[in-house]
Amino acid sequence: MANKWVLGARPRTLPAAIAPVIVATAFAGNQWHPSSAVLALLVSLSLQIGVNYANDYSDGIRGTDDSRVGPVRLTASGMAKANSVKRAAFLSFGIAAIAGFILALQSSWWLIAVGALAIAAAWSYTGGANPYGYKGLGEISVFLFFGVVATVGSYYVQVENLDFRILVVSVPMGSLSCAILAINNLRDRAQDELAGKRTLAVRLGDKRARVLYIALLLSAHLFALLTFKVGAILTLLALPLTIGLIRSVLGGASGRELIPSLAKTGQLQLVFALLFALGLTL
């Protein structure tokens, strides 16, 4: 049944992989390189899908997903065997590694080290003997790898040069990727605490976890404007989506009530990225 694997890939989280490549390509301007952009997108998407399958497998065999309020998980629900989910994760990581290796051949060998770190971080988020996601460090990793590394890396492989301004451009992408994880962890906070999974939402508590989520959304808008690109003002067109999400979180929505907010946060990142990309090209 193919649909279960689509479900396991968690499509609602994929904007976190697509958005950085879109923005980086726009920032590259007339130096953009089509094949490198496509390969960068393949790396990003494969890593995102890989980490989703890896989390499904690791949380499933630990029993963390036995009582979930979010979408069904393949391993915990028995829809797929644990080893099959693990193989799907490794297959995704393998695709990312191959695409990344081609990019390294075309640009710089140091990308191989960056790619290896990204795959290791993706697996050890909830996998291995000492998963850092269980210690509240997931948001930091997401900001770095799906924000800074994804954006800067996608820019570098196209222009083969670094511009310090791309670091500022990467911050909104990192903030919105973190927001996807933050709303996910806020939704699962009570169950994760019972399961001994000390996510940042568990460590902060309900009220401060909501403040963090709101701060991440607002920081994306702020740092987009700090690029001092006149066109970046277009990102303010996404404010109605941002305000709607803030109202929902401030209104006390919790558990299953936050499931729509996860999807809408992903939609916000994609809309924001398209507006930001357009603004950067003006």
User: What digits encode the pLDDT tens for the residues 171-189?
Assistant: 999 999 999 999 999 998 9
pTM of the model: 0.92
The per-residue pLDDT for 197 is 85
Give the mean model confidence (pLDDT) for residues 208-232.
95
Residue 8 domain-assigned (yes or no): no
Does residue 59 surpass a pLDDT of 90? Answer: no
Per residue, the 3-state secondary structure of 144-187, as one string, reads: HHHHHHHHHHHHHHHHCCCCCHHHHHHHHHHHHHHHHHHHHHHH
Q: Which domain holds residue 186?
A: 15-281
C-alpha 144 chain-centroid distance: 10
The per-residue pLDDT for 280 is 94
Model confidence pLDDT, tens digit, residues 256-280: 899 899 999 999 999 999 999 999 9
Does residue 4 surpass a pLDDT of 90? Answer: no
The per-residue pLDDT for 3 is 86
The per-residue pLDDT for 68 is 63
The per-residue pLDDT for 70 is 63
Across the chain, mean pLDDT equals 92
Percentage of the chain lying above the pLDDT 90 cut: 76
CATH code at position 115: 1.10.600
Cα–Cα distance measured from residue 219 to residue 214, given in angstroms and rounded to the nearest whole number: 9
The per-residue pLDDT for 67 is 63
| C-beta separation of 165 from 26 below 8 A | no
- 70 or 225, greater pLDDT: 225
Residue 41 domain-assigned (yes or no): yes
Residue 254 domain-assigned (yes or no): yes
34-69 exposure pattern, b = at least 16 Cβ within 10 A, e = fewer: eebbebbbbbbbbbbbbbbbbbbbbbbbbebbeebe
Percentage of the chain lying above the pLDDT 70 cut: 97
Give the mean model confidence (pLDDT) for residues 123-150.
92
Residue 4 domain-assigned (yes or no): no
| 27: amino acid identity, one letter | F
Give the mean model confidence (pLDDT) for residues 17-44.
96
Number of domains, the chain? 1
The per-residue pLDDT for 282 is 85
Q: Residue 255 — pLDDT band, cuts 50, 70, 90?
A: confident
Q: Residue 194 — pLDDT band, cuts 50, 70, 90?
A: confident
The per-residue pLDDT for 192 is 86
Give the mean model confidence (pLDDT) for residues 133-145.
93
Residue 169 domain-assigned (yes or no): yes
Cα–Cα distance measured from residue 20 to residue 11, given in angstroms and rounded to the nearest whole number: 16
Residue 250 domain-assigned (yes or no): yes
Residue 1 domain-assigned (yes or no): no
Does residue 1 surpass a pLDDT of 50? Answer: no
Q: Angle formed by the axes of helices 165-187 and 150-159, to 10°? A: 150
Residue 27 domain-assigned (yes or no): yes
